[in-house]
């Protein structure tokens, strides 16, 4: 039986991670988010903090020019890869293995792109307006009210650059997803319900 995967791309502050966890719970499957970092740590020997720091980065331009003679990931020689590229490649392999092993929800980490050829997928984008993102960042992630807007911009800019660097596509462009949901207008629980229902409709029961 082919496994069913829901990928969730999410703006920082949109509640996408919580939505992913609740969808997974509703469908009785696992949700992979931070868990992926642990898997990469196990395989690579890098520390959790180091991976977390590097996973939304792009390779240093100078490092790339020096070691690969250009931009982008040199998949041919892992010894010459920057640590950021190594984390990306390892994470991609783990995501592909996961999708072959079990039905699950995967949050972030370019999973929509990595699994773009896989049929049994529902790719979802969660976005929200700035007011809702600020509210969530302040009350759920403990960001200071003064800095919230700046931090949200910075984090989402980093996600966009990372996605662009590794996929060549524009992060958050609706064309990459089956469904895009405005969690600010819909609220978390409606998003969960819509995604779970859509996944069952498109992919069949998860049991």
* 153 contributes a contact to a second copy by CB under 8 A: no
Judged by CB under 8 A, the residue of 117, 177, 188, 206 near a second copy is: 177
Give the containing element (helix H, strand E) for 44. helix 34-44
Going by C-beta distance under 8 Å and a sequence separation of 6 or more, which residues neighbour residue 2?
A: 119, 120
Per-residue tokens: 181:
């949901």
Judged by CB under 8 A, the residue of 129, 135, 149, 188 near a second copy is: 129
* 202 contributes a contact to a second copy by CB under 8 A: yes
Rounded Cα gap, residues 38 and 183, in angstroms: 28
Rounded Cα gap, residues 86 and 6, in angstroms: 25
* 160 contributes a contact to a second copy by CB under 8 A: no
Interface map 23-52 toward a second copy (x if CB under 8 A): ------------------------------
- CA Rg, the chain, in Å? 17
- 114, with CB counted inside 10 A (0-12, 13-18, 19+), is buried
Cβ nearer to a second copy, comparing 102 with 190: 190
Cβ nearer to a second copy, comparing 54 with 176: 176
Per-residue tokens: 205:
């029961």
Pick the piece of the chain touching a second copy (CB under 8 A) from 26-34, 64-72, 85-93, 192-200: 192-200
Judged by CB under 8 A, the residue of 1, 201, 205, 207 near a second copy is: 201
Going by C-beta distance under 8 Å and a sequence separation of 6 or more, which residues neighbour residue 151?
A: 12, 137, 143
* 167 contributes a contact to a second copy by CB under 8 A: no
Cβ nearer to a second copy, comparing 119 with 207: 119
Residues at the contact surface with a second copy, assessed by CB under 8 A: 123, 125, 127, 129, 172, 174-175, 177-182, 185-186, 190, 193-194, 197-198, 201-202
């Amino acid at each position: 039986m082919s496994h069913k995967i829901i990928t969730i791309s999410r703006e920082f502050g949109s509640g996408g991670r919580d939505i992913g966890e609740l969808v997974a719970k509703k469908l009785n499957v696992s949700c992979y988010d931070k868990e992926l970092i642990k898997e990469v740590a196990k395989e690579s020997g890098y520390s959790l903090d180091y991976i977390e720091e590097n996973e939304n980065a792009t390779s240093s331009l100078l490092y790339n020019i020096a070691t690969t003679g250009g931009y982008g990931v040199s998949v041919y020689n892992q010894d010459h890869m920057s640590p950021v590229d190594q984390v990306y490649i390892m994470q991609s392999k783990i995501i592909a293995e996961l999708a072959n092993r079990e039905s699950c929800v995967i949050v972030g980490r370019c999973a929509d792109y990595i699994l773009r050829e896989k049929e049994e997928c529902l790719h979802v984008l969660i976005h929200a307006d700035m007011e809702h993102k600020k509210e969530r960042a302040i009350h759920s992630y403990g960001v200071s009210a003064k800095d919230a807007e700046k931090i949200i911009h910075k984090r989402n800019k980093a996600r966009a650059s990372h996605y662009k660097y590794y996929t060549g596509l524009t992060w958050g462009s609706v064309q990459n997803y089956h469904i895009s949901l405005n969690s600010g207008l819909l609220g978390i629980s409606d998003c969960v319900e819509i995604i779970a229902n859509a996944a069952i409709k498109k992919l069949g029961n998860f049991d």
